[in-house]
Amino acid sequence: MPYPTNLKQIANLVKTKRALLLDVRTKKEYCQGHLQGAHLISTPLPPLTRRESQMQSESLYYLLKDKKIHSNFPIYIYCKKGIRAKDAKNKLRRLGYKNVTFLGGVAVEPLNQLFQISSSYGKPWQIEKC
């Protein structure tokens, strides 16, 4: 299945609340533009101190607990370049979440195309700003 079709499917899942979309960038990056429906887990740029890493894990845990997200619920994660999203994916796996998908970074292919040409493929994503 081509990647854009997957993105359309992910957008539909997020829109209908059958998946969770996490943005693990800084609040400033998030406010400059984020994918519609994304929840911010504000994460400083690496390398993270032990406390920053612990705070991110706690933020992830409480967001998922608050939303009553079960361990097999689809979760999609992105950041700017992919580093923070990979780290968050690993943390979610350690917390017991099994259906976690790394989307990459908004500054690299193919996710950056959503920010550059969000109207392609039937406008599956809207770019929001704070």
pLDDT digits over 58-108, tens only?
888 888 888 889 999 999 998 888 888 998 898 899 889 999 998 888 776
pLDDT value at 13 more than 70: yes
Task: Give the mean pLDDT of 46-53.
Answer: 75
Which CATH topology does 3-128 take?
Oxidized Rhodanese; domain 1 (3.40.250)
Provide the pLDDT for residue 117: 40
Report whether pLDDT(111) > 90.
no
CA distance 126 to 105: 17
- In this structure, of 16-20, 44-48, 86-90, the range with the lowest mean pLDDT score is 44-48
pLDDT in tens, 113-128: 555 444 344 445 566 6
pTM tops 0.85, yes or no: no
Exposed e or buried b per residue across 101-121, where buried means at least 16 C-beta atoms within 10 angstroms of its C-beta: eebbbbeeeebeebeeebeeb
Q: Report how far residue 118's alpha carbon sits from residue 34's, in angstroms, rounded to the nearest whole number.
A: 11
Q: 3-state DSSP call for residue 110? A: coil
Q: Using only C-alpha atoms, what is the Rg of the chain? A: 14
Determine which of 37-41, 50-54, 82-86, 124-128 has the lowest per-residue pLDDT on average: 124-128
